[in-house]
């Protein structure tokens, strides 16, 4: 009982004790709060300051201007043209529906466009603008600008779009630009790629030179509220334009060659025999890269991909042809190298008998030496000599002159074809049994390869390099970027051998050879060359690919160099289904070379030709664009 | 107490040190609200100044109330407030997803606010009436527990976790000061630790989320963890001297949510830094110490317990809010009294201060007479 007595004195003591405990607890919590405050404000200060700044300041990317591409004389090939565009800044958009309706009216937007904008608006967040339309004509741009006060969130601005003054002439060479795809963004994770209006290289040099051409994006630094409202603009970070890139190409020559190829499906390469500079690399017909840089329409794409003349294919690098007789100068070098006397004569009775098979020649050339054999393109001579030396030895020379080789070029892809030999055939036989009948190299394989048929397939650039190496005797490598200053080292082929072969090629054009009609009309400058005609399909009976359907006709090829006495330029022309090298390809080579020495004369000749074809390349491109437009409209109407 | 021949007696007898402290805290609050509105007296600063002035007058007026009057109203207040809580439950106005208001037409009453001083008064009265020898008995505990538990349950139903917690804390503190044996607190404390997972399961989705986010705010920096993350950024980025008045980017650019109500401390510290924050904490500490002194000097048991309980009310307000704002406690929606915009917290704290001043005045008067 005594223990349980709890008097008011005890109570008062207990109260004081409990009050002390409570006050102590309160002080402890107070100290904890002060400590926490100090920790956040002093120890963690920098961390939180950074977070606060990244809250406050946002960077609006200003895309850099793409670097120009210029030719060897600094003439622009790809430039940036200022254009007008209209974007929406989602956070500032107040009345999405009426705004979009007004924009649709003002800008003539299609239903698809509006759908896309609505879709992107739904996913949008923050201050990242969304593209409504680009390449807006000035009157429409002005119409939007005038009504801006009633369209909050709409942001009309000036942008830049890629422009190629020469249009299709540089299509395959330069490629084109386009908006980055989702896959490309995933790969790089660069927010610049999803900035409206920003384009990256999609094809050709635009793609391979992307890192050099792109430049550094700038930024408009802005202070934004949590809801993305602009408070003020801070000092901007300037963008750095991409570096200009100078090509070895001669833009004027490139354009001329493109025009000269006219309506044919073909290609023309011309390079400098000392340095390997590629002065011209044209494949026609070509797409207009300007249509891609604006975003190509479905109709136009379909027309391009359905065209039998394959305007989407770069025929210089990605088309392979049997070279036909154009490799006979190379064969001759190989024969000389293997001890064949150039004066030795072979009798051509119109063909060559191997066992029980008779391999035809194009004529009865009688008794021919090496020079005559090249000039007359006598198959019999090369059958006989090839058979004697063996193709494995010829293939060595073929590779030495660049055939079947892949060159170190900034291109998206190169098809490098085949220079066959016995080892190759054996390997291929084991890889694809059904395709080849026998694993061992036969004499008829040698005969076929000796006249540029059979397994031998090459691209036109390789033919041009071959011509250039024969002409200059130098180990040139084709070059697209910059201008070569030093001549390439010598190949180490006996100059006497080269002279013999060049002599044969001189006779092709300037003697009584196959391309006598394509002699240059410039005093003191003589073109040398070698024609070739490649079969597209097997000769069946009398049908020799000289008539009938366009797509079964023979290809016409021509390799050349000029001038004869001091070789400077070399090249190759291939005209698909052009019937023959002398008929289709050599005249193009003649005109392109003429342009290098006498522009006026070349242009006069060209004008005459273009009148037959129905206008200049630009006029025909415009007409084609109109046709595309009409087809697209017709398709839209029926849809 | 200021003694001067010029100042009239009634004025001179006011507890001026407390009034200056309160005015100082309120001043910091009003200045911060001016900044939180982007450098404008509207819509918060002016309104807050009027509310504080009004309730400060009410508090000073209350200081003439006698202890016996306070004793007499303790039970009626408790009964009326509890009845109002029931009414809120039944016909309460649905706002902010929680039923908390009674709309009387001219004013919206939040009865749970009155329960904070209400629970102090009723428990003080209860322990005053309880014979001294019974304090270690069961009968000292269960009526008090019931008196706390019933309104807390009603407030939980609203649901208003912050107020319910505060009312429980205040009630338990009064019980502790009254001398209820330690084991009474330790055993339920242990039980609570066990029960937390169970209670957690019973909590509302958004309440549970707040606790989740408290435990790991980085898990959802843009979602529900946004409040705590942004508040810590504001406080941390202020540094020692702050970004300068009207220069707080977190609050001015709306990154800090509720920068004028629950998170007003973050707004203030961002601009005034550690120095400003510490000053405010010390000012509150002095107010609470003043209240605790009133309790220590009180002559009657009722006055002792009431003064201690009211001081604890202010203490819990301040500490829960600051812990929440600095990421030491979950976001439970307790404002910083006298600083956060909003009338109810100001009203509650001023009622507490008014009662404390009344008790303090009587200590002085009685001591004068002795």
A137 — pLDDT class (breaks 50, 70, 90): confident
Chain B residues closer than 8 Å to A4 by CB: 133, 136
Provide the whole-model pTM: 0.67
φ, ψ dihedrals at B250, nearest 5°: -60, -45
Give me the DSSP letters along B304-364. HHHHHHHHHHHHHHHHHHHHHHTTSS-------TTTSS-HHHHHHHHHHHHHHHHHHHHHH
User: Does the distance separating the beta carbons of A26 and B177 come in below 8 Å?
Assistant: no
| Nearest beta carbon to residue B136 from set A6, A7, A48 | A6
User: Does the distance separating the beta carbons of B295 and A55 come in below 8 Å?
Assistant: no
Chain A residues closer than 8 Å to B301 by CB: 11, 15
Structure tokens, A637: 């109407």
pLDDT attached to residue A574: 93
Q: Is the pLDDT of residue A292 over 70?
A: yes
Mean of pLDDT over chain B? 86
Nearest C-alpha neighbor of B352 from the set B299, B300, B295: B295
pLDDT digits (tens, 9 = 90+) for A149-193: 888 888 888 888 888 988 888 889 998 888 887 788 888 878 788
User: Does the distance separating the beta carbons of A40 and B236 come in below 8 Å?
Assistant: yes
Residue to mutate among B185, B244, B253, B334, with most A CBs inside 10 A, is B253
Least confident of A104-108, A129-133, A365-369, B31-35: A129-133
Instruction: Provide mean pLDDT across the span A244-255.
Output: 91
- Contact criterion met (CB below 8 Å) for B171 and B147: yes
User: Does the distance separating the beta carbons of B288 and A55 come in below 8 Å?
Assistant: no
- Contact criterion met (CB below 8 Å) for B236 and B249: no
pLDDT attached to residue B93: 52
pLDDT attached to residue B303: 94
Report the C-alpha gap between A54 and A223 in whole angstroms.
10
B369 — pLDDT class (breaks 50, 70, 90): very low
Instruction: Provide mean pLDDT across the span A327-331.
Output: 92
Chain B residues closer than 8 Å to A49 by CB: 236-237, 239
User: Does the distance separating the beta carbons of A41 and B273 come in below 8 Å?
Assistant: yes
User: Does the distance separating the beta carbons of A23 and B274 come in below 8 Å?
Assistant: no
Whether B300 and chain A come into contact, CB under 8 Å, resolves to no
DSSP 3-state of A343:
coil
Report the C-alpha gap between B167 and B190 in whole angstroms.
20
Report the C-alpha gap between A179 and A168 in whole angstroms.
20
| Nearest beta carbon to residue B326 from set A21, A40, A49 | A40
User: Does the distance separating the beta carbons of B235 and A48 come in below 8 Å?
Assistant: yes
Q: Looking at the DSSP assignment, which residues form a beta bridge with residue A240?
A: A216
Q: Is the pLDDT of residue A296 over 50?
A: yes
Q: Which residue has the tokens 């660069």?
A: A190
Q: Return the number of other C-beta atoms located less than 10 Å from residue A567's C-beta.
A: 22
Sign of the four-CA dihedral B312, B316, B322, B326: positive
User: Does the distance separating the beta carbons of A18 and B132 come in below 8 Å?
Assistant: no
Residue to mutate among B138, B179, B296, with most A CBs inside 10 A, is B179
| Nearest beta carbon to residue B133 from set A4, A224, A231 | A4
Q: Is the pLDDT of residue A23 over 90?
A: yes
Q: How far is CA B238 from the centre of its chain?
A: 26
User: Does the distance separating the beta carbons of A52 and B132 come in below 8 Å?
Assistant: no
Report the C-alpha gap between A102 and A105 in whole angstroms.
5
pLDDT attached to residue A1: 37
| Nearest beta carbon to residue A15 from set B179, B250, B254 | B179
Chain A residues closer than 8 Å to B135 by CB: 6, 11, 14
Whether B247 and chain A come into contact, CB under 8 Å, resolves to no
Sign of the four-CA dihedral A222, A223, A225, A229: negative
- Contact criterion met (CB below 8 Å) for B161 and B329: no
User: Does the distance separating the beta carbons of B239 and A226 come in below 8 Å?
Assistant: no
User: What percent of chain A clears pLDDT 90, i.e. is strictly above it?
Assistant: 31
Whether B319 and chain A come into contact, CB under 8 Å, resolves to yes
Q: Is the pLDDT of residue A440 over 90?
A: no
Partner A, chain B 269-288, Cβ-Cβ below 8 Å: 269, 273-274, 277-278, 281, 285, 288
Nearest C-alpha neighbor of A409 from the set A201, A571, A209: A209
Residue to mutate among B173, B237, B248, B321, with most A CBs inside 10 A, is B237
Number of CB pairs, chain A paired with chain B, less than 8 A apart = 133
- Contact criterion met (CB below 8 Å) for B302 and B67: yes
Nearest C-alpha neighbor of A394 from the set A355, A451, A439, A342: A451
User: Does the distance separating the beta carbons of A19 and B295 come in below 8 Å?
Assistant: yes
DSSP 3-state of A142:
helix
Nearest C-alpha neighbor of A199 from the set A183, A179, A216: A179
Query: Ranked by mean pLDDT, which of A289-293, B83-87, B202-206 comes out on top?
Result: B83-87
- Contact criterion met (CB below 8 Å) for A571 and A589: yes
Report the C-alpha gap between A19 and A25 in whole angstroms.
10
Chain B residues closer than 8 Å to A1 by CB: none
Q: Which residue in A has a C-alpha nearest to residue B313's C-alpha?
A: A26
- Contact criterion met (CB below 8 Å) for B190 and B358: no
Q: Is the pLDDT of residue B177 over 50?
A: yes
CB-count exposure of residue A496 (10 Å: 0-12, 13-18, 19+)? exposed
| Nearest beta carbon to residue B255 from set A8, A30, A226 | A226
Residue to mutate among A52, A224, A226, with most B CBs inside 10 A, is A52
Nearest C-alpha neighbor of B173 from the set B8, B19, B1, B306: B306
Structure tokens, A479: 């070059």
Chain B residues closer than 8 Å to A26 by CB: 288, 292, 315, 319
User: Does the distance separating the beta carbons of A30 and B255 come in below 8 Å?
Assistant: no
User: Does the distance separating the beta carbons of A226 and B179 come in below 8 Å?
Assistant: no
pLDDT digits (tens, 9 = 90+) for B49-99: 999 999 999 999 999 999 999 999 999 999 999 998 888 877 655 544 455
Whether B217 and chain A come into contact, CB under 8 Å, resolves to no
Whether B236 and chain A come into contact, CB under 8 Å, resolves to yes
Q: Which residue in B has a C-alpha nearest to residue A223's C-alpha?
A: B253
* Chain B: closest CA distance from residue A16 (Å): 7
More reliable by pLDDT, B100 or A286: A286
Q: Is the pLDDT of residue B117 over 90?
A: yes
User: Does the distance separating the beta carbons of B235 and A37 come in below 8 Å?
Assistant: yes
pLDDT attached to residue B32: 94
Strands, sheet with B93-95, edge to edge from the N-terminal-most edge strand:
B93-95, B98-103, B108-109
Q: Which residue in A has a C-alpha nearest to residue B329's C-alpha?
A: A33
CB-count exposure of residue B220 (10 Å: 0-12, 13-18, 19+)? middle
B2 — pLDDT class (breaks 50, 70, 90): low
Q: Which residue in A has a C-alpha nearest to residue B322's C-alpha?
A: A33
* Chain B: closest CA distance from residue A193 (Å): 25
Nearest C-alpha neighbor of A558 from the set A395, A324, A371: A324
User: Does the distance separating the beta carbons of A16 and B233 come in below 8 Å?
Assistant: no
Report the C-alpha gap between A358 and A356 in whole angstroms.
7
Nearest C-alpha neighbor of A40 from the set B247, B284, B340, B229: B229
A269 — pLDDT class (breaks 50, 70, 90): very high
H runs (alpha helix) in A377-435: 379-389, 391-400, 422-431
């Amino acid at each position: 009982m005594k223990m349980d007595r709890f008097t008011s004195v005890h109570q008062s003591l207990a109260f004081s004790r409990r009050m002390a405990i409570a006050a102590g607890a309160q002080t402890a919590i107070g100290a904890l709060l002060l400590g926490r405050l100090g920790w956040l404000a002093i120890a963690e200060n920098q961390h939180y300051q950074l977070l606060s700044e990244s809250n406050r300041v946002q960077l609006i990317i200003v895309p850099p201007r793409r670097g120009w591409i210029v030719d060897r004389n600094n003439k622009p090939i790809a430039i940036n043209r200022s254009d007008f565009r209209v974007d929406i800044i989602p956070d500032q958009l107040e009345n999405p529906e009426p705004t979009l309706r007004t924009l649709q009216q003002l800008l003539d937007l299609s239903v698809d466009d509006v759908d896309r904008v609505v879709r992107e608006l739904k996913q949008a967040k923050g201050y990242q603008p969304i593209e409504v339309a680009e390449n807006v004509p000035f009157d429409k741009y002005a119409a939007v600008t005038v009504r801006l006060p009633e369209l909050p969130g709409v942001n009309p601005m000036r942008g830049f779009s890629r422009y190629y003054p020469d249009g299709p002439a540089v299509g395959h060479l330069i490629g084109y630009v386009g908006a980055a795809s989702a896959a490309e963004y995933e790969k790089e994770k660069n927010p610049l790629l999803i900035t409206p209006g920003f384009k990256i290289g999609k094809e050709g040099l635009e793609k391979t030179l992307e890192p050099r051409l792109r430049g550094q994006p700038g930024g408009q630094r802005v202070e934004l509220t949590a809801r993305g409202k602009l408070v003020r603009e801070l000092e901007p970070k300037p963008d750095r334009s991409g570096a200009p890139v100078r090509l070895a190409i001669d833009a004027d020559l490139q354009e001329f060659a493109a025009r000269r190829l006219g309506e044919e499906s073909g290609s023309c390469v011309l390079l400098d025999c000392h340095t390997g500079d590629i002065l011209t690399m044209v494949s026609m017909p070509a797409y207009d890269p300007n249509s891609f840089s604006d975003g190509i329409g479905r109709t136009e794409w379909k027309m391009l991909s359905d065209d039998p003349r394959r305007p989407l294919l770069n025929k210089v690098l990605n088309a392979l042809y049997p070279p036909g007789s154009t490799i006979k100068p190379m064969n001759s070098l190989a024969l000389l190298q293997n001890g064949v006397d150039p004066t030795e004569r072979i009798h051509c009775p119109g063909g060559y008998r191997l066992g029980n098979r008779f391999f035809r020649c194009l004529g009865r050339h009688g008794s021919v030496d090496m020079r005559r054999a090249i000039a007359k393109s006598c198959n019999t001579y090369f059958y006989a000599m090839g058979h004697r030396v063996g193709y494995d030895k010829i293939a060595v020379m073929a590779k030495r002159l660049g055939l079947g080789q892949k060159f170190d070029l900034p291109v998206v892809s190169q098809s490098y074809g085949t220079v066959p030999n016995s080892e190759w055939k054996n390997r291929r036989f084991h890889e694809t049994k059904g395709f080849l009948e026998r694993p061992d190299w036969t004499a008829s394989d040698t005969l076929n390869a000796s006249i540029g048929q059979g397994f031998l397939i090459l691209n036109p650039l390789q033919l041009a390099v071959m011509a250039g190496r024969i002409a200059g005797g130098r180990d040139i490598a084709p070059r697209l970027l910059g201008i070569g200053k030093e001549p390439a080292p010598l190949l180490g082929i006996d100059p006497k051998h080269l002279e013999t072969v060049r002599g044969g090629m001189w006779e092709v054009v300037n003697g009584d050879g196959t391309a006598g009609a394509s002699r240059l009309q410039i005093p003191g400058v003589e073109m040398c060359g070698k024609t070739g005609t490649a079969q597209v399909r097997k000769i069946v009976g009398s049908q020799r690919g000289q008539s009938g359907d366009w797509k079964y006709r023979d290809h016409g090829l021509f390799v050349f160099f000029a001038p004869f006495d001091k070789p400077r330029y070399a090249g190759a022309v291939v005209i698909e289904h052009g019937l023959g090298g002398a008929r289709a390809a050599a005249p193009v080579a003649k005109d392109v070379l003429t342009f290098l020495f006498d522009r006026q004369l070349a242009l006069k000749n060209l004008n005459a030709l273009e009148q037959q074809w129905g206008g200049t390349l630009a006029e025909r491109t415009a007409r084609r664009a109109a046709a595309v437009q009409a087809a697209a409209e017709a398709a839209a109407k029926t849809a | 107490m200021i003694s001067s021949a010029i100042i009239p007696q009634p004025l001179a007898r006011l507890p001026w040190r407390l009034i200056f402290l309160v005015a100082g805290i309120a001043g910091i609050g009003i200045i911060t609200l001016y900044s939180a509105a982007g450098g404008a007296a509207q819509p918060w600063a002016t309104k807050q100044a009027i509310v504080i002035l009004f309730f400060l007058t009410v508090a000073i007026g209350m200081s003439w109330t006698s202890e016996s009057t306070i004793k007499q109203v303790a039970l009626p207040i408790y009964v009326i407030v509890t009845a109002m809580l029931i009414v809120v439950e039944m016909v309460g106005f649905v706002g902010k997803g929680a039923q908390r208001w009674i709309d009387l037409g001219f004013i919206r009453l939040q009865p749970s606010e009155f329960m904070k001083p209400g629970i102090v008064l009723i428990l003080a009265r209860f322990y005053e009436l309880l014979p001294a020898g019974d304090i270690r008995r069961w009968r000292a505990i269960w009526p008090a527990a019931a008196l706390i538990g019933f309104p807390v349950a009603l407030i939980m139903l609203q649901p208003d976790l912050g107020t319910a917690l505060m009312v429980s804390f205040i009630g338990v503190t009064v019980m502790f000061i009254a001398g209820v044996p330690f084991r009474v607190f330790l055993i339920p404390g242990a039980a609570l630790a066990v029960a937390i997972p169970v209670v957690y399961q019973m909590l509302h989705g958004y309440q549970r989320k707040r606790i989740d986010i408290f435990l790991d705010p980085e898990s959802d920096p843009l979602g529900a963890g946004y409040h705590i993350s942004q508040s810590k950024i504001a406080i941390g980025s202020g540094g020692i001297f702050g970004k300068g008045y009207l220069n707080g980017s977190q609050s001015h650019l709306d990154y800090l949510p509720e920068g004028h109500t629950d998170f007003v401390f973050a707004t203030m510290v961002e601009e005034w830094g550690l120095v400003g924050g510490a000053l405010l904490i010390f000012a509150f500490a002095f107010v609470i110490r003043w209240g605790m002194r009133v309790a220590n000097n009180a002559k009657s048991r009722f006055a002792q317990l009431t003064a201690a309980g009211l001081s604890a009310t202010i203490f819990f307000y301040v500490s829960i809010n600051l812990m929440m704002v600095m990421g030491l406690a979950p976001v439970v929606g307790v404002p910083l009294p006298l600083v956060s915009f909003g009338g109810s917290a100001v009203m509650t704290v001023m009622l507490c201060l008014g009662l404390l001043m009344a008790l303090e005045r009587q200590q002085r008067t009685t001591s004068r007479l002795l």
